[in-house]
Chains A and B, each alone.
Chain A
């Protein structure tokens, strides 16, 4: 980096601006992921006649849309320097709480709202343990993973709640289409775009970035570090609850075992997307591309008749490659 150049507005000449822009895009995580996705896309279009069809595209999008909502929350939480292993259980909790309330006669919309509220409350309590007592995010959320999952079993008494009586208006969220595009995908796109925009531009999320980058410096900038951490935790849990309600509408059933293991996929997506587990760094867009890539790979493997047993291994390798590249690049700085 040229340090002697004095500070001038709009530094940089037009000459070579275009290749530089491309180089910059590729240096950014999002650009890199887009490139990989594009290569896979082109390759798969030739490899399989079923790949480049609307039906397949829709299936791929559907496969990660709902979890993608949680990825947005997880990315923000990772930026602040936290992590939440309980999101899978939180999704399930919102689902079974809402399902149970609906079955005892509550309006499904109100029940859904209370389901999201329940996960938000769980996130708040978890955040209090982290910011108030000073426990680590990892171990606290591990405890909450057990706690919330246990609650799911208690609420359902261990059996799936059949919710086929949900009114069509409610089922529309999870199963309906607008001009042929599933509502689930639309909701996901809105959350992702708004989330990405806000993380880049809102002062609230700028404070999240400050806290994640350097907690001490944030404190010396007059930022209430604990409050920022607490509400980021609540946000992540609430988005997980929201995703759970969408799943409920989509599946028409609330299963106490739903979402087991999905936290790993969600965290992996955020990290592949460029979020650093040491905080201060991460991109919602990158994380969305990350989970998109994971889904694309899975779907490609199915189309190519590769054994399903390889899926987890390949995902593990992708994650390992992403963090290794990250580490090497940062070390050379």
Chain B
């Protein structure tokens, strides 16, 4: 990269929402004529940073320098005036008007003319659309598929006379050929001197398309490097990070008990493709992989929360297991903890006791179908004590508890049915170290007692510290299974990055 003045420079950007600090001291330089990858796990602060550049949020402190002059971006309209265009991951278009009107939205919005010149709009939109796709400009947007809508969104950004283009995971909804067409256009734009910020998780895109990569983690800048100077493994490593090691319980003394659950060739037709594994008695089986690698989908498919397209699961002794509903899975002792505690895992407005009893109400009910409050309270007290739940009493609403205690309630709910197998999705995300260690100890205790335990985790040290064996997914496929000596950060990272797949556009990048 030529040592020219960057077209966009963010210096020491900090952003807090209330007391929560989302970005801390982030510095980013973007040059004209480069495609700059921005990578980070969920919650790393990518979107906030993009929203600051796009004028949606204002930084708490720090400065923005545009084309060498200090600038303030007060609103999305302001951003457009500065030549900045943002393509959101979620489609932000008007579904009820034509494709052409959507593509031309910003110029219509700023036009001073009293009437809309439809012919001109249609012509200009058609020109832009032709670059990427053969979508008819007169189609009503809402009738298009999601991937086509995404293309329209991109066309709109291309159309607005910008020289800084930000794309937030633009290929998430696109097919490979559409993505290839997009990449070709981005390369053309780069050649014309546009600065492009490209947010993506996909290694193949980062390496096939981008010039430099900036990695964010927990709201901080980790590094900025030319992509040629950093290996995919190192990228993953920096994304996930090495965190302070917690104390982990001792691993299983004897590995290789009976098979509790055996999955073969599971596919959901979208995210998971042909994954199989065995879960043995006495072990904690970990599932690692980047976000979007199909971890959650794999668990949900096993317990009837997501339809299977192909594959089989059998439980101990070979009995087939294909619950059409989650309720059936629960009744056979296979339970699931959602990664999203607030949205899926708990009834925030209800008391602790109501939450814990919800998975199998019949346990605390009389034969007449009435809830036995005393039984329900006893259940909540017993499980609360077992998990060392801290609360003002079992009648306290879950919303008033700390994150760690909310998670304990969610786990207590699973244990209330004496499960044979527990599937846990990010069981310790966002909770304090103490509660985390307690949950780890509990999971080990369960495994030792013969309950099957599968843990999905984004945290590398947790996967390695807690689990006996780790299955690594990459883009929906089984990338490898690690255990014993092989279970190291390096190996997990290497497998999570997936098989190295250089794209056929490598030469173009050099050109």
A: residues with CB less than 8 A from B are 1-9, 11, 201-204, 206-207, 209-210, 213-214, 216-224, 280-281, 333
Residue B393 is within 8 A (CB to CB) of chain A in the complex: yes
Check A202 against B371 for contact (C-beta < 8 Å): yes
A residues less than 8 Å from B329 (CB atoms)? 222
* B381 in contact with A7 (CB, 8 Å): yes
Q: Which residue of A lies closest to B393 (CB)?
A: A11
A199→B330 CA distance, assembly (Å):
25
- Write the chain B residue with the least CB distance to A197: B370
**How many whole Å from A276's CB to the nearest CB in chain B?**
9
> Cβ of B349 and Cβ of A203 under 8 Å apart?
no
What are 21 of the A-B contact pairs (CB < 8 Å)?
A1-B400, A3-B392, A3-B401, A5-B393, A6-B390, A7-B384, A202-B369, A202-B371, A203-B365, A206-B361, A206-B371, A210-B347, A210-B350, A210-B354, A213-B347, A218-B347, A219-B326, A221-B358, A222-B327, A222-B329, A224-B327
Q: How far is the CA of A7 from the CA of B359 in the complex (A)?
A: 21
CB neighbours of A333 from chain B (8 A): 399-400
Residues of chain A within 8 A of B389, CB atoms compared: 7
Q: Is the interface of A mostly helix, strand, loop or mixed?
A: loop
- Between B325, B326, B402, the greatest number of chain A beta carbons within 10 A of the residue's beta carbon is seen for B326
Is B167 part of the contact surface with A, judged by Cβ < 8 Å? no
Q: Is B350 touching A280 in the complex (CB atoms < 8 A)?
A: yes
Bound form: Cα–Cα A3–B336 in Å = 28
Across the interface, do B344 and A209 meet the contact criterion of CB distance under 8 Å? no
A5 touches B344 (CB 8 A): no
Check A203 against B369 for contact (C-beta < 8 Å): yes
**Which of B359, B361, B377, B389 has the most A CB atoms < 10 Å from its CB?**
B361
Q: Does B148 contact A (CB under 8 A)?
A: no
Of the candidates A2, A8, A206, A213, the one whose C-beta lies within 8 Å of that of B349 is: A213
The number of chain B residues touching the other chain, given as a range, is 35 or more
- A207 to chain B: which residues have CB within 8 Å? 361
Which of B344, B358, B402 is the one whose CB lies under 8 Å from A3? B402
Contact A223 B327 (CB under 8 A): yes
B385 at the interface (CB under 8 A from A): yes
Residue B493 lies at the interface, judged by CB distance under 8 Å to chain A: no
- Which B residues between 384 and 417 are near A, CB-CB below 8 angstroms? 384-385, 389-394, 396, 399-402, 413
Contact status A217-B392, CB under 8 Å: no
Q: Quick check: A204 and B393 within 8 Å, CB to CB?
A: no
Taking a contact as CB atoms under 8 Å apart, the answer to whether A3 and B347 are in contact is no
User: Is B276 close to A, CB under 8 A?
Assistant: no
Cβ–Cβ < 8 Å partners of A218 in chain B: 347, 358
Contact A217 to B345, CB < 8 A, known contacts A1-B392, A3-B401: yes
A204 touches B369 (CB 8 A): yes
| CA of A2 to CA of B344, assembled, Å | 26
Instruction: Using A5-B392, A206-B371, A223-B358 as known contacts, list a sample of 9 further A-B pairs with CB atoms less than 8 Å apart, ordered by residue number in A.
Output: A3-B392, A7-B385, A7-B389, A9-B377, A216-B343, A217-B343, A220-B326, A222-B327, A280-B349
User: Which B residue's beta carbon lies closest to that of A280?
Assistant: B349
